[in-house]
Amino acid sequence: FIDEIDAIGRARGRGAAMGGNDERENTLNQLLVEMDGFGTTSGVVVLAGTNRPDILDPALLRPGRFDRTVTVDRPDIKGREDIFKIYLNKVKLHLPAIDAGDAEAVEGSADKKQLSGDAEEEENAESAGGLASLLTMQTKVDDTEVSSDSNSSGSGSVSSSSSEDEDDDEPYSPQQYEPMNVEEYAQRLAALTPGFAGADIANIVNEAALIAAREGKASVDAVDFERATDRVIGGMEKKNKVISKEERKTVAYHEAGHAVVGWFLQNAEPLLKVSIVPRGTAALGFAQYLPSENLLQTVEQINDMICMTLGGRAAEQVVIGKVSTGAQNDLEKVTRMAYAQVSIYGFNKRVGMLSFPPDENRFDKPYSSDTARVIDEEVRKMVDTMYERTLSLVTEKKPLIEKLAEELLKKEVIGVKELTEILGERPFKSTELRNIDRYLGAGGDATTAPSAREAKRGVTPTPPSTGPELPTDPRDLEPALAAAPSR
């Protein structure tokens, strides 16, 4: 197996020094000669890995050499669910309690084995100090960043990490989740993490275990996973960051503008959370959206995404009366989306159905200066039109933006439940099951255990095909109803 073969297998003649001899070409020539020397019956199989198959020399890809290509792409929602199941088995989860009668009914099942193992580990958690019972011995992942977090299982490193992140608590009351089985954890977390690779998933599970250990919990619950996802996406919280009241107010109106504009645009992604807690090195706040597994995009979807991205700048202009530099990252995204519409996807009538994707190996543009001027004019015209549309929507919904900003200044983080109470139900309904529906438990695949909310309505859901048999008699659900939070 040859890893990172592009280091020596780059196409010959690219980037070589003028008049010199590139050593990589000699190494590549020798590799090609050696591969030609293998006999067909010698039983030797040569494998190679690379993230840049487009720059490999064509001679490497000829029949008899690396003539079979296996593409390992980022996992889809089903793949993420399977990966989560692997890593969730390495931590102690907050699972639903099962009484003795139900345990006898599921004796010998895999879930009962999991629950019995959790009962033993819970006793060890009190004596071992918390973290040792949350993380198993095997937490090393082949990703460098994840390994650095995983190696913090020693007592000394945990204490230093805890002192560094001791204020990592969310300043708001997170959504209260009822205990779930491993299947439900995997399904909801897979819906929460679109675009994540295997190393990212392992990092989330490790971060959730660390967060639970810092709080002295005996198990990891859904709130810990939600906070771990926020940290992986947005970076570590910086609650001690010095920020003035005026700047904090500006950030609140900026994020409220994003949220309200996206809430009332049909093709914008569903909004999950709004936060004005500083994270990472530059982010003073963020609005988290939960996109579905979209493979295609329409003109209307891109236009609504541009308007949603411009919502923060428009809210500053309409509500505060002056704009700030906080929209720099938003403008970069808008520029990329607008140029992609005009010069790549062929959505502009004046430029026509032409595509000029960026090519890093070319120093000149594949079109004339006149065409470049037309592209620039159409992009500027499109952005101006979308901004006027955004300003109109922000002016119409100004009371809602002010109300949401005031709540953000009080709570700092607002979830989808509070957003619905402030903004009302989103006027657009989807006929298909989206990732946000799976995560919030509104879809059939996302809920496999009866909840207290369903029991209050008198609904008896279909029991899961695998796992422990849960009680269906309302009398058996009385303890759960008594312990369930009010809704």
Catalytic sites, residue numbers: 255
Rounded alpha-carbon distances, angstroms, from residue 395 to 33, 265, 321, 362, 367: 70, 15, 12, 45, 40
Three-class HEC string of 224-269: HHHHHHHHHHHCCECCCCCCCHHHHHHHHHHHHHHHHHHHCCCCCC
Q: Are 262 and 269 in contact (CB under 8 A)?
A: yes
Rounded alpha-carbon distances, angstroms, from residue 113 to 279, 391, 395, 425, 447: 40, 58, 58, 42, 22
Tokens of 295: 């493979």
CA–CA separation, 469 and 484 (whole Å): 20
CA–CA separation, 175 and 421 (whole Å): 14
DSSP secondary structure of 307-334: HHHHHHHHHIIIIISS--GGGHHHHHHH
Q: Are 316 and 251 in contact (CB under 8 A)?
A: no
The number of CA neighbours under 13 Å toward the Cβ of 276 is: 28
Burial of 455 (0-12, 13-18, 19+ CB in 10 A): buried
Residues shown for the chain: 487
